[in-house]
Amino acid sequence: MWRVELTYKAQQDLANLDRPVRRHIIERLEWFAENFTSTQPSPLHADWKGFYKVRFSSWRVVYSFSTRDSCITVHYIDRRDKVYKRRL
CA triplet 56, 19, 29: central angle to 5 degrees?
35
Say if 87 falls within a structural domain.
no
Number of domains in the chain: 1
DSSP state of 52: E
Residue 75 is assigned to a structural domain of this protein: yes
We report the CATH number of the domain holding residue 25 as: 3.30.2310.20
Query: In the chain, which residue ranges form alpha helices assigned H by DSSP?
Result: 8-15, 19-34, 80-83
For the stretch 23-50, pLDDT in tens is 999 999 999 999 999 999 999 999 899 9
Say what percent of the chain tops pLDDT 70: 99
Sheet holding 71-79, edge to edge: 3-6, 71-79, 59-66, 52-56, 42-43
The answer to the question of residue 26 being in a domain is yes
Q: Is residue 45 part of a domain?
A: yes
Domain around 72: 3-80
- Does residue 85 form part of some domain? no
Q: Strand 52-56 relative to strand 59-66: parallel, antiparallel, unpaired?
A: antiparallel
- Reported pTM: 0.93
- Indicate whether 86 pLDDT > 90: no
